[in-house]
Amino acid sequence: MRRVVTAGRLLALGLVLLAVFLALLVLPSNDYIFLPDKAHPVAPLVEVPGGHPPKTGGIYYVDVIVRRAKLLEQLFPGLHEGADLYPASAINPPGVDDAQRQRIDLQDMANSQVVAAAVALKAAGKKVVSRPIGAKVEAVEPGKPAVGKLQPDDVITAIDGARVRSPADVFVAMERHKAGDTVAFTVRRVARTFVERIRTVAAGGGSKRAIVGVLLEPALDIRLPIDVRIDAGGVGGPSAGLAFALDILQELGRNVVHGLKIAATGEILPNGAVGPIGGIKQKTIGAREAHVDAFLVPAGENAADAKRYAHGLKIIPVESFPQALHALATLR
């Protein structure tokens, strides 16, 4: 006995398969996808009073397209060149949702622009004034009491009502407490200031030191001698800091690029150090696609990974802004 498949059944089956395919194509998964984006010139984003972009060559910044992966992309990540999938826990800091993470990324970008301008202006011999104003939260440790209460880029300005000007002040204040105490943190988050009360725990590993589980760095109020403006649109994160600093110095009259097209990535710190960044695989591909002459990246693991995807692109590892300038001055 043979079953006859009618045209109607075939049509129904085709519609079902089409619906499944469209669902896979449209519906988001729980994972995030990192995709390369072609490197972009920095000069159109930067406005330096009296400054001029180079006539030939220039500095390029690289970014990464980060979004929720579609179900089809989750099943077949090889659909896009250079794509990587990550779980949400690897993208959003502990206790932070998508919207909060996007705000943090934009704040990181704004901070990196000010620091980049300060580093470039110092290199140009101009006076930059900075003063400590608190302890900035660099990261929150998973599973610790600060999760859901403090976020990256929060600035701690007081503990139990006592003024905080640096991470050292936080350490001293916390020494007065034992595990189990509740500590009142005065926190500035963007334009809002509030008090967050957090119960401490022991540091562990044999230590009874009271902690809440945050990594801190100095928070600085930086005053620039000239009004440098950078408009990066909706691009977030601190990784364009090195590129911004190089371009600003170029526009101030220093011949930084020597007629070459130079891509750069790396977080720029107030002391001129270049810190590591994420998405180096995608950024290297983006630099290649822009056909730049060389790509400056943070030394160490970032540089090692960049060389894996360079495919002939010259990779220059750097640890500091002065080292980057020296590398470009001797690059031919």
Interval 221-263: pLDDT, tens: 999 999 999 988 878 889 999 999 999 999 999 999 999 999 9
Q: Which is more confidently placed, 15 or 94?
A: 94
Average pLDDT, stretch 129-152?
96
Q: What is the mean pLDDT of residues 300-328?
A: 97
Model pLDDT, residue 28: 72
In this prediction, residue 307 has a pLDDT band, given cuts at 50, 70 and 90, of very high
Q: Are 137 and 269 in contact (CB under 8 A)?
A: no
- Lowest pLDDT segment from 92-101, 193-202, 258-267, 275-284: 92-101
Which tokens hold the place of 165? Answer: 């000007």
Q: Does position 5 have pLDDT exceeding 70, yes or no?
A: no
How far apart are the C-alpha atoms of 63 and 236, rounded to whole Å? Answer: 9
Q: Which residue reads 């600035």 in tokens?
A: 155
Residue 29 has a pLDDT of 78
CA-to-CA distance for 156 and 184, rounded, in angstroms?
A: 10
pLDDT above 90 covers a percentage of the chain that reads 72
Q: Is the pLDDT of residue 25 over 80?
A: no
CA-to-CA distance for 77 and 279, rounded, in angstroms? 16
Q: How far apart are CA 162 and CA 182, in angstroms?
A: 15
**Is the Cβ–Cβ distance between 66 and 282 less than 8 Å?**
no
Residues 199, 83: Cα–Cα separation, whole Å = 41
**CATH tag, 35-64+112-128+225-329:** 3.30.230.10
Would the pLDDT of 63 be above 90?
Answer: yes
Q: Is the pLDDT confidence value at 51 over 90?
A: no
Tell me the CA distances in angstroms from 317 to 26, 35, 208, 308, one per residue in order.
40, 23, 40, 13
Sheet of 315-318: strand order equals 40-41, 58-61, 261-264, 294-298, 315-318
Least confident window among 16-20, 72-76, 150-154, 247-251: 16-20
C-alpha angle with apex 277: 317 to 139, nearest 5 degrees?
A: 140
pLDDT band at 39; cut points 50, 70, 90: very high
Q: Which sequence spans correspond to the domains of the chain?
A: 35-64+112-128+225-329, 129-221
Tokens encoding 146: 């600060």
Average pLDDT value for residue range 273-280: 95
Please, is 37 exposed, middle or buried when counting C-beta atoms within 10 Å of its C-beta (0-12, 13-18, 19+)? Answer: buried
Q: What confidence score (pLDDT) does residue 326 get?
A: 96
- pLDDT tens, position by position, 155-213: 999 999 999 999 999 999 999 999 999 999 999 998 899 999 999 999 988 899 999 99
State the average pLDDT for the chain: 91
- Decide yes or no: CATH 2.30.42.10 for domain 129-221: yes
